[in-house]
Amino acid sequence: MTECNASDLARHLAQHTEAVCRHYLPAGRRQGRYWIVGDVRNTPGRSTFVRLVGSERGKGAAGKWSDPATGEYGDLLDLIGASCGLVTFSDVVREACRFLSLPRPASRVRLERRRVPAAAGSPQAAQRLFALSRPIDGTLAETYLRSRDLDGLHETAALRFHPACRYKHDTGPDELWPAMIAAVTDVSGDITGVQRTYLSSDGRKAPVDSPRRALGYLLGHAVRFGTAAEVMAAGEGIETMLSLRCVLPTMPMLAALSAAHLAAVLFPPTLRRLYIASDLDTAGRVACDRLFERAQQAGIEAIALRPWRGDFNDDLFSDGPDALLAHLRVQLAAEDVERFTKPAAPACPGLAVNRRCVDRSGG
C-alpha cells in the first residue's frame, strides 16, 4: 500500500477486526458477532461493543464500535488511537501500518482530512455546544446542583445550561432534553470536549438510559474549577468536586468525569501538591492508586482524601458541610487547612477558557 487515505486504511483494518481487538483490547472477549470490553482504553467490562462481522461500509460495517455508557463511537483507527493514547492522527496511522505490516507512511502518502474525529466525537462540536449554552444561574442546571446540597457554586464558568440538547437513543427517534453542559479543558484552558448531564423539568436527571454523555476528547483533560497553581485537588465527578469546593472554597479543583480518566489526568506544570478525592468503589480506589503513583513519579506530593461513604457528595448530602470539613481537616497538610478553608472572595474570576474555543463558530 504505497498510497492510502484514512477510509482505505480503516477498511483494511476491518478485514482483520478480531485480530485488532485481540491485540489492542485483550481485556475483552468475543461474544457472537461482537467483541465486548469495558472501553476502548482496554478497561475490563461490558460497556463497549466492537462489530466483528458486517458490511464493508456504513453503520453496520465490521470494525465499527460504540460505548452507550459514554456516547463514544468510531472505527478501528479511533480504537487504536484511544487504546494506545495517541494524540495525533499521523501517530495513529503509523501504528495501524505497523500492525498491518505495511510500509511506514512517507510524505507522499495521502491522508484525507477526517471531518469528525469519531473516537470521542468532535472537539469543534463540543466547543459549539458550549458556546450555544448559557450560564447556569437561574436554570435547571443550578436547580439540579442545589438539589445535591451544592451551594459552593463559585468559579463555575465551566458549567453552562442548554434548554434543548439532542439525546440520541440506541433505537427510536432522537429527543430534546435540557442539559447541564460541562466544558472539558486541557491544561492551557482550551476546550477539548464536554459532558452533557440530561435533566428533566423538575431539575433531576432525565429518565433516559444514559443521562450523562461525553463529547470530544476527554483523556488527560478535565472540568476545572479555579485556576491551578502549586496545589489542587482532582476527583471523578462534578458533584464530588463541587462538594469539596463547598468546604475548601479557594482550592483549585478538577473533575476528570470517570475513574479511568482520573488515572490519566495531566498535571499542570506548576503543580507541587495534589489531593486525590477517591470514590470508595473498586474503580475509584484503583484510579486513586494509579494517579498517586504517577504524581510521585513526577515529583509531586500526592495526598489521598477518603470519604466516609461512596463519595464526598454522599458525605455532604448526609452529614452537612461542618461534618465534612471536620473529616477533611485531619487529611489535609497542616499549612493548607487555614489557607483553603477561608471563604471565597465575593467576585471570583471564572474558569480561564480560551475565547477562541467558545465563539459561535466553534473555531
Confidence of residue 55 (pLDDT cuts 50, 70, 90): confident
State the Cα–Cα distance between residues 185 and 220, nearest whole angstrom. Answer: 9
Would you state the pLDDT for residue 116? 39
pLDDT exceeds cutoff 90 at 161: yes
**pLDDT given for residue 115 in this prediction:** 40
User: Which residues 6+ apart lie within 8 Å of 127 measured at CB?
Assistant: 191, 357, 358, 362, 363
pLDDT band at 71 (very low <50, low <70, confident <90, very high): low
CATH topology for 6-99? DNA Primase; Chain A (3.90.580)
- Of 47-61, 96-110, 160-174, 281-295, highest mean pLDDT: 281-295
For residue range 198-237, what is the model confidence (pLDDT) as tens digits?
999 999 999 998 999 998 888 889 999 998 889 999 999 9
Question: Any alpha helices (H) in 248-333, and if so which ranges?
Answer: 259-263, 282-297, 312-329
- What does the pLDDT read at residue 129? 85
Question: pLDDT at position 292, please?
Answer: 94
Q: What is the pLDDT of residue 60?
A: 77
> Which residues, 6+ apart, have CB-to-CB distance to 303 below 8 Å?
273, 274, 275, 276, 331, 332, 333
- Kindly report the number of other CB atoms within 10 A of residue 302's CB atom: 18
Task: Give the DSSP letter of residue 260.
Answer: H
Residue 244 has pLDDT above 90, yes or no: yes
Stretch 56-70: mean pLDDT, rounded? 77
Segments making up each domain of the chain, as ranges: 6-99, 120-214+352-363, 227-347
Q: If DSSP codes are grouped into helix, strand and coil, which group holds residue 158?
A: coil
Q: What confidence score (pLDDT) does residue 121 get?
A: 56
Helices 6-14 & 17-24 angle (0-180, nearest 10): 90
DSSP class of 222: B
The whole-angstrom separation of Cα 164 and Cα 175 is: 9
pLDDT at 141: 94
Identify the pLDDT of residue 85: 76
State the average pLDDT over residues 40-54: 86
Residue 148 half-sphere exposure toward CB, CA atoms < 13 A: 25
Tell me, what's the pLDDT at 139?
93
22 pLDDT higher than 90: yes
Q: What percent of the chain has pLDDT over 90?
A: 47
Span 85-105, pLDDT tens digits: 776 778 888 888 888 887 655
Interval 257-279 mean pLDDT: 93
> For the structural domain made of 227-347, what CATH number should be given?
3.40.1360.10
CA distance 312 to 223: 17
Helix axis angle, 334-341 relative to 312-329, nearest 10°?
120
Q: What is the mean pLDDT of the chain?
A: 83
Give just the sign of the alpha carbon dihedral 302, 290, 194, 205: negative
For the cut 60, the answer to whether the pLDDT of residue 4 exceeds it is no
Best CA proximity match to 200, nearest among 181, 176, 172: 176
CATH numeric code, 120-214+352-363: 3.90.980
